[in-house]
Amino acid sequence: MKKTGLFFGSFNPIHIGHLVIAGYMAEFTELEQVWFVVSPQNPLKPAASLLPETQRMRMVRLAIEYDKRFKASSIEFGLPRPSYTIHTLAYLKEKYPGVEFCLIMGADNLATLKKWKNYEQLIREHRIYVYPRKEETPVPPELTKHQSVVFTQAPIMEISSSFIRNAIKQKKDVRYMMPPQVAEYIKEMHFYER
């Protein structure tokens, strides 16, 4: 069964930090592929700074177009909202029966996993590959010792999408923080300038 890691995010915009984590997961774990699952509008996040999902999807496709280990997924665009990870996984398992789907998440997300819908089922049925974050977030001991949780030594990346958005607003040159084709597209479309 092909092991595929699902890397969920708004990718607003995608940057080299995301790609370094995905590259690490594809090279240093058993994952054979990493799917970037672009999340639709999160009802808990302000919509003002969030580009439409189709634009964010376009940037992800531009960023990964030459790497066969990566795939851009718009799977959540057509699912009921708000989208819950457990529902997305159930849909993917049905659609791709020959694939073993795993989750890729930061240690900060693992720390709050117990608040997720049906988290017990999620952790029972799927492996979770965790990358470290700069801020040490206390993770409940039963999650750190869980057989489905795999802690990785992925590089800690301090670049964030919000930093990039704010820098663009301040007319700073941040082109080296993203793949060149993404930086070019953002410039051409005048994204994040206001």
Over residues 75-121, the pLDDT tens digits come to 999 998 888 999 999 999 999 999 999 999 999 999 999 999 999 99
Decide if 191 is inside a domain: no
pLDDT at residue 134 in the model: 86
Listed residue (66, 50, 56) closest to 36, CA to CA: 56
Between CA 117 and CA 25 the distance in angstroms is 25
Contact predicate 26/33, CB 8 Å: yes
Domain region containing 111: 2-158
pLDDT at position 42: 63
CATH, residue 19: 3.40.50.620
In a domain, 65, yes or no: yes
Residue 79 lies in a domain: yes
Residue 177 forms part of a structural domain: no
Q: What is the model's pLDDT at position 46?
A: 64
Cis peptide preceding 13, ω within 30 of 0: yes
What single letter denotes the amino acid at residue 28?
F
Three-class SS of the chain = CEEEEEEEECCCCCCHHHHHHHHHHHHHCCCCEEEEEECCCCCCCCCCCCCCHHHHHHHHHHHHCCCCCEEEECHHHHCCCCCCHHHHHHHHHHHCCCEEEEEEEEHHHHHCHHHCCCHHHHHHHCCEEEECCCCCCCCCHHHHCCCCEEECCCCCCCCCHHHHHHHHHCCCCCHHHCCHHHHHHHHHHCCCCC
Position 69 scores a pLDDT of: 97
Residue 187 lies in a domain: no
Question: Do the beta carbons of residue 8 and residue 39 sit within 8 Å?
Answer: yes
Q: pTM for the full model?
A: 0.94
The CA–CA distances, whole Å, from 34 to 7, 47, 71, 89 equal 7, 27, 6, 14
Task: Count up the domains in the chain and report the number.
Answer: 1
Q: Burial, 31: exposed, middle or buried (Cβ in 10 Å; 0-12, 13-18, 19+)? A: buried
**Residues of the chain with confidence (pLDDT) below 70:** 42-48
Kindly state whether residue 67 falls inside one of the protein's structural domains.
yes
Residue type, 98: G
- Tell whether 25 is covered by a domain: yes
Query: Can you tell me the distance from the alpha carbon of 139 to that of 130, in angstroms, rounded to the nearest whole number?
Result: 11
Q: 116 lies in a domain?
A: yes
